Structure 1
Amino acid sequence: MTVFDPFPLPEHQGLTPTHTIRWEAIAETVVRRILAIQPGERVIISADPYYGGAALEAMRCEIQRARAIELASILHWSPAVGGMRLASGRHPDSEMDKAETQAMKQLFSCADVFLLLMNDRRRAYRTVSTSQSDEVVNDCKGVRSAHLHWFQDPRYPDPAHPVNLLHDRVNEKAIIELDYSWMRRMMERMAEMVRGRELRLTDEAGTDLRFRAGLHFHTNYGDASRERMARFSSGRDREEEVPVGSFRFIPDPQSAHGRVVFPNRTDGEAMALGRGFDVQPFAKAGLAFEFRNGRVVSVQTEGDQRALDQAWAGESGDKDVLGEIIVGCNPLLTPVPGSSFLPHYGFGAGVTRLILGDNLLSGGHFRSSFHRWLTWSNATLEVEGQLLIERGRQIPLESLRP
């Protein structure tokens, strides 16, 4: 029997779990170590009613043990409700959407912590309105959050597929067994190295892009404590993604110069890879962006150039900017044999991602209908001649000089 929920509660759902995940240990890590929830703090949970039942149960129990208050639980969209929403997951009526968002802000103003549990990315509809929750958390400065991601290979819909079971084990290990103190030292060292300096990204397909790092970094090393989060204003800075491992920064807006060849990955597109026109057909034929003085001056394909020109012209806002850089740092988010899908969409050590277009959530000023991820697992990244990543291999912390 195919079990839709890979982590069910058998006594409630009548299903047999595909295998056992150490959810109690994961919940303790998230609630106690990462969020460091204190007695009396008010927590809002967002969870899928059809996916991750055992994870939800473990988190709720750990919140009780921490003597915190479960203020509210928000259910992700079910198939019927999802069919009544837009493709983005938001309300189709603009006035209702505004009222709904305002109501959520009023609710979140009473909370201290927002815990967003996993979404089922295999659904044909959006299970949550991500942009809405991002806006709410960004505006509610007193709320810190953690987002538990639990991705399986999108090519295999059966959660019990051997490849998906291996993805589960990688995610589990990357949360429970990570040396969080080491991760913090690693990211602090990287910040010292790249702050205000020029970086160069290259690959064998012809990417050769130079850009200058900004002065502020989002260091996702597993500390969403009240004391640390009080220093930050943007929603990105007040959120810890779990498993941790993303080192993010917004580059100098006028510094991008060179050529970016869109990685032609074999794991395909998914909702988590951004928004805007479908780049995949063009990427398969060969898709490149030329940057000058921080802006895209041409978009080229070896396929249907006319169709690409029309698609590009249809996007609005700051579509032609390099919005953000992400460097994966978690050494336990290792590639899964038999899968081309990168665990946690590339937070593993040695993975590099560029964001084109909108960077609202990360505290940037660019707004656009176009927001696309470009992810490499085999690129080289260097800062003023010193290697950070060499063909997808992260240089050991001890070798990095500030």
Structure 2
Amino acid sequence: MMRIPVFFMTLFLAAAAVHSQTALRDVSLDVSLDYEAMAGRMVEQLDLQPGETFLAVAHPGEFEGLIPHLRYAVMEAGAVDLGVIHVLGEPIPESWRSDVIESADAAARPALAELLKDVDASVMLPGSTPDHPAYAAIQDNLRAGRGRTVHFHWLGNNSAVPLPGHPLPPVHVLEATYERAVLETDYAALARTLQGFEAAMRGSEIRVTSPAGTDIRFRIGDRPVNLQDGDASGARTDAGRVLVDREIELPAGVMRVAPIEDSVNGTIAFPPSQWSGEPVSGLVLTFDKGQVIDVTAGEGEDAVKAEMAAAGGAGRAFREFALGFNPLLAVPEEQPWIPYYGYGAGVVRLSLGDNTELGGEVGGGYVRWNFFADTTVTVDGDVWVRGGRLIGGGLDDTE
């Protein structure tokens, strides 16, 4: 088996690579995707009930072939199809004044929140983001305990992350991987595994180590644990404790939690990366009670400190621990890459910054996602991940 070296990457580092993939996606043949089946899966995961209202939020020109199938599947379920809200298409013309758009967005958000407050379910389709007033308004309602939504980012927002030394595969490979995960995931089995990991973490110490020198420990106490198992039913989301419990990702597969800040201690070691747009190598961050207390690097130490300083307090705060569980999104052994934000089995995310959406105490808005594909994860000594491979609670894959 090929062992992938320790990996660190942020969405900022992946932007150029994914931009090229997105450009290629614009000329790919939409007919290669099974829109009807994916639309049916979304509605099934939403568990739409007769009389519930449904709205799609879309970007002009993105996944237009999916929308009719999605709306028809909603109708078949007996729900009320409210149609589609299109966000303002991007990129916007250079001649347009940014202050005009910002003012219009600020006025639209509360108006849309009021207009959409009784919408039961929605889907955020590729190209639409929380930066757009339509989805920002939906989020405001979600925070108030109203409604639920499916996030269907697809290749947008840099969901596919390259490993150092390995380019992303062609677009058709990315899309085939995501489509298979949407349609073929065993959602019931995924939910059981995620629930088992959450139960194991409660009252336990979680430790993440790597050959490069990562050795960080923490506890979650009674913090909310977000289990992205694909269940977007009203019963499930209404029982949620934080915003992301009402935002269900498809593809599915990750566990996310903001550990108790004071419990986070140890080191995170990074391979070559970029901070403040500058190359950094040999970076090690040392944490004490959830705060970075020491920064050392062979090259680029000042760039790391500059980014942290610009971010304010959030720049030195541990944000979240995430662990992927979906075997259909695991890092491939041949031509390796990290699918869909690290939702694949064995991928770890150790992030910095604002964790309020997860029920944490760190604000500030800054977020830096760091992905690792070769860590070992233990819970009170029981091994769940060894060298980037998910093996379960305390069971060695050689036994």
Which bin holds the TM-score, normalised by the shorter protein? 0.7 to 0.9
> Which residue identity lines up with residue 308 of structure 1 in the other structure?
V
CA distance in 2, matches of 1:127, 1:57: 25
Residue 200 of structure 1 aligns with which residue?
207
**Contact 2:109–2:136, Cα closer than 8 Å, also in 1:** yes
**Contact 1:289–1:300, Cα closer than 8 Å, also in 2:** yes
> Which residue identity lines up with residue 304 of structure 1 in the other structure?
G
- Quote how far apart the aligned CAs of 1:129 are: 6.4
> Which residue identity lines up with residue 42 of structure 1 in the other structure?
T
1:274-302 Cα offsets, whole Å, 9 max, x none, are xxxx456344x233221012211123332
1:37 aligns to what SS in structure 2? coil
CA distance in 2, matches of 1:233, 1:393: 30
- Quote how far apart the aligned CAs of 1:82 are: 7.3
**Contact 1:214–1:250, Cα closer than 8 Å, also in 2:** no
Q: Does 1:321 align with 2:317?
A: yes
Q: How does 1:252-291 map to 2 (within 5 A)?
A: 252-264=260-272, 278=275, 281-283=278-280, 285-291=281-287
- Go from structure 1 to structure 2 and tell me whether the alpha carbon gap of 1:247 and 1:80 turns closer, same or farther (over 3 Å shift): closer
Residue 47 of structure 1 aligns with which residue?
58
- Quote how far apart the aligned CAs of 1:212 are: 1.1
**Contact 1:360–1:367, Cα closer than 8 Å, also in 2:** yes
**Contact 1:108–1:136, Cα closer than 8 Å, also in 2:** no
CA distance in 2, matches of 1:103, 1:81: 23
**Contact 1:229–1:237, Cα closer than 8 Å, also in 2:** yes
Stretch deviating more after TM superposition (315-324 or 112-121): 112-121
Structure 2: tracts of 5 or more residues without a match: 1-20, 163-167
1:354 aligns to what SS in structure 2? strand
CA distance in 2, matches of 1:259, 1:368: 23
Stretch deviating more after TM superposition (236-245 or 22-31): 22-31
Q: Does 1:354 align with 2:326?
A: no
- Go from structure 1 to structure 2 and tell me whether the alpha carbon gap of 1:222 and 1:3 turns closer, same or farther (over 3 Å shift): closer
2:65 aligns to what SS in structure 1? helix
Residue 371 of structure 1 aligns with which residue?
367
1:15-39 Cα offsets, whole Å, 9 max, x none, are 872652222111111102x110112
CA distance in 2, matches of 1:310, 1:376: 23
Q: How does 1:170-319 map to 2 (within 5 A)?
A: 170-215=177-222, 216-264=224-272, 278=275, 281-283=278-280, 285-319=281-315
Q: Which structure shows the bigger proportion of residues in helix conformation?
A: 2
Moved runs in structure 1, 4+ residues, more than 6 A? none
> Which residue identity lines up with residue 173 of structure 1 in the other structure?
R
Residue 11 of structure 1 aligns with which residue?
none
How high is the TM-score relative to the length of structure 1? 0.81
- Quote how far apart the aligned CAs of 1:76 are: 3.2
1:344-400 Cα offsets, whole Å, 9 max, x none, are 121000000022110122233321242111111111111111111101100147949
Q: Does 1:29 align with 2:41?
A: yes
How high is the TM-score relative to the length of structure 2? 0.81
Residue 391 of structure 2 aligns with which residue?
395
> Which residue identity lines up with residue 71 of structure 2 in the other structure?
R
Residue 59 of structure 1 aligns with which residue?
70
> Which residue identity lines up with residue 71 of structure 1 in the other structure?
L
- Go from structure 1 to structure 2 and tell me whether the alpha carbon gap of 1:57 and 1:353 turns closer, same or farther (over 3 Å shift): same
CA distance in 2, matches of 1:162, 1:320: 34
CA distance in 2, matches of 1:360, 1:183: 26
CA distance in 2, matches of 1:118, 1:261: 33
CA distance in 2, matches of 1:74, 1:183: 32
- Quote how far apart the aligned CAs of 1:306 are: 3.1
2:185 aligns to what SS in structure 1? coil
**Contact 1:336–1:343, Cα closer than 8 Å, also in 2:** no
CA distance in 2, matches of 1:397, 1:30: 31
- Go from structure 1 to structure 2 and tell me whether the alpha carbon gap of 1:397 and 1:52 turns closer, same or farther (over 3 Å shift): farther
Q: CA RMSD in A?
A: 3.2
1:279-338 Cα offsets, whole Å, 9 max, x none, are 56344x233221012211123332233343333222224332212111101011133577
1:7-62 Cα offsets, whole Å, 9 max, x none, are 8xxxxxxx872652222111111102x11011211112111212212222321221
> Which residue identity lines up with residue 146 of structure 2 in the other structure?
G
CA distance in 2, matches of 1:66, 1:105: 25
Q: 2:153 aligns with which of 132, 149, 152?
A: 149
> Which residue identity lines up with residue 140 of structure 2 in the other structure?
V
- Go from structure 1 to structure 2 and tell me whether the alpha carbon gap of 1:303 and 1:133 turns closer, same or farther (over 3 Å shift): farther
Stretch deviating more after TM superposition (294-303 or 195-204): 294-303
> Which residue identity lines up with residue 105 of structure 1 in the other structure?
A
**Contact 1:41–1:68, Cα closer than 8 Å, also in 2:** yes
**Contact 2:57–2:84, Cα closer than 8 Å, also in 1:** yes
CA distance in 2, matches of 1:108, 1:62: 21
Q: How does 1:157-172 map to 2 (within 5 A)?
A: 163-172=170-179
CA distance in 1, matches of 2:169, 2:117: 43
**Contact 1:167–1:336, Cα closer than 8 Å, also in 2:** no
CA distance in 2, matches of 1:261, 1:398: 25
